[in-house]
A = this chain, B = another copy of it.
Amino acid sequence: MIQWENLSTLSSFEELNKVERVNLVEVMSGEEGATRAKNYRSEMAEGLSYNYAAKEVNDEVLTALAKLAEEAQLVEKFEALYNGEVINTGEKRMVLHHMTRGQLGNAVEADGVDKRTFYVNEQKKIAEFANKIHNGEITNAAGEKFTTVVQIGIGGSDLGPRAMYLALENWAKKNNTFKMEAKFISNVDPDDAAAVLNSIDVAHSIFVLVSKSGTTLETLTNESFVKDALKNAGLDASKHMIAVTSETSPLAKSSDYLAAFFMDDYIGGRFSSTSGVGGAVLSLAFGPEVFARFLNGAAEEDKLAKNKELTKNPAMLDALIGVYERNVLGYPSTAVLPYSQALSRFPAHLQQLDMESNGKSVNRFGASIDYKTGPIIFGEPGTNGQHSFYQLLHQGTDIVPLQFIGFKNSQIGTDVDIQGSTSQQKLCANVAAQIVAFACGKKDENSNKNFEGGRPSSIIVGDQLTPETLGALLSHFENKVMFQGFVWNINSFDQEGVQLGKVLAKKVLAHETDGALKVFSDLLNI
């Protein structure tokens, strides 16, 4: 029987607090450091591995974390989730995004259908549609092929798909699976849509309108923007647009769209990259086979999250180390630092995934809690970040736990040898160096050049960023966030915190304001 208990009530958490702190400078130096670097790793799917040698843990801490995982029933809760329990208690919904890429447990029926079959069918429909676009069966009115796909969506309908597109764009070009350029319109700022429309050939563009509810203000506004542009170009908008939405949304059966593909209420926006939300644009851009490979990578990684043995469940391990850093060591933020330009927007996606899921102050039953939940997440790719905010990470007054990601090989494969090493080697040398620099520091008589060290990091290493490894990476972080939500006993799957702003914005637009809100409305000329 699953018990949903607050973290602060767990005896294993009390024990964890009593475990002696690890001195990272000491344990990461010399032979002990080498041994840790070799052994403190957890194998992931698709040849990735999660190395946590430079985290402030040792066997004692790991044992305590394993007890916490057991007492908090993390794997049992995951089982309940993928077997269709109503885990999203606030909205009274199941949480089924794992099912978009695999069947982890029992069949789950909802809305009168088997959900795995439903998601697979939608993926197939998208694949067939994408193939018809690519082979010219579906064209514009002039019978010409579409060359560009434009995603219209915001939040989870934008950040995840955009990050995944950028992650695979160069890989697809290199591997001859690149089909169409993708662009994204998200912001209600009219300059966003106008700039994208100015940069494309609308006559050869297909637009993917993504909104689960079919009521998202930004997305509907930008749809009108695009329809205006199509009309002004003398084109029939309904021949240039498809929709990804829920079957109950006003968009589902509209004749305004060439086709509609469905998701449902059991897939939260920030977990929707492996559903049609990511599927349509990525299948159009790279071909359905590439999207299927991405799903396979995620599915393989998901399987590891079922393992009750902590060190063989990298997502759960990463989650618990994060909880240790947040609730025992007291660190308020985490930086995500991929040493891969292709992952330039992956941190922005993780920022939503993590902060929107776990930025909560009440537990899943609505009772207040007396411990910290989700941290601030931020990051930029390395080596760029090294020349920017790393100064604070190395010598600032707060400690920021770091999450590195690195690959042995580049995607494009074009490289240059300077001073005896390639760019890729320089990139990898830098991330290896940073781990040790942060952990061990370096004493210097000049205090300005002194590095205290003791700054924890982990690294996920892979051979190359491919559809499969990208899927595995995405799954790892989705499951990490889920496990942390379980530990904190919060509902990671709703987002009530975004509602108040929407309500007040409507009042402003209706000129139903007083007090400070009226003054700010006037100030901004509304």
Contacts and interface: CB of A to CB of B under 8 A. Distances in A.
Contacts of A427: 187-190
Given A189-B427, A414-B194, A415-B190, A498 B356 contact: no
A418 B448 contact: no
A508 to B, nearest CB: 4
A228 to B, nearest CB: 6
Interface stretch (A233-241, A250-258, A312-320, A360-368): A360-368
**Which range contains the number of A residues in contact with the other chain?**
35 or more
Interface string A499-517: 1111111111100001111
A361 B54 CA distance: 22
A313 B430 CA distance: 42
A156 to B, nearest CB: 7
A383 B187 contact: yes
Given A429-B509, A437-B504, A521-B429, A395 B497 contact: yes
Contacts of A392: 355-356, 358-359, 374, 376, 497
Interface stretch (A15-23, A25-33, A274-282): A25-33
B428 A383 contact: no
Given A412-B191, A423-B221, A396 B373 contact: yes
Contacts of A195: 169-170, 341, 412
B332 A433 contact: no
Interface string A339-375: 1111000001001100111111110001111011110
A207 to B, nearest CB: 15
A141 interface: no
Dominant SS at the A interface? helix
12 contacts: A38-B519, A90-B448, A190-B414, A195-B412, A225-B416, A332-B332, A359-B396, A361-B452, A373-B397, A391-B498, A394-B501, A433-B505
A377 interface: yes
Contacts of A495: 391
Given A34-B515, A426-B509, A432-B517, 13 more contacts: A191-B412, A225-B416, A356-B388, A359-B394, A360-B395, A361-B395, A361-B397, A428-B526, A432-B505, A433-B502, A435-B520, A437-B500, A449-B496
Task: Specify which of A54, A187, A495 lies most central, judged by the most chain B CB atoms within 10 Å of its CB.
Answer: A187
Contacts of A406: 524
A297 interface: no
Contacts of A387: 154-156, 158, 218, 269, 352, 498
B191 A340 contact: yes
A384 B187 contact: yes
Counted per complex, copies of this chain come to 2
B383 A507 contact: no
Contacts of A498: 386-387, 390-391, 394
A259 interface: no
A494 interface: yes
Nearest to A494: B448
Contact of A447 (B366, B389, B437, B505): B366
Interface string A447-483: 1111110000001010000000000000000000000
B395 A376 contact: no
A138 interface: no
Contacts of A198: 170, 173, 412
Contacts of A186: 384
Contact of A416 (B28, B221, B452): B221
A411 interface: yes
Interface in A169-215: 169-170, 173, 186-195, 198
A169 to B, nearest CB: 8
Contacts of A449: 496, 499
Contacts of A169: 195
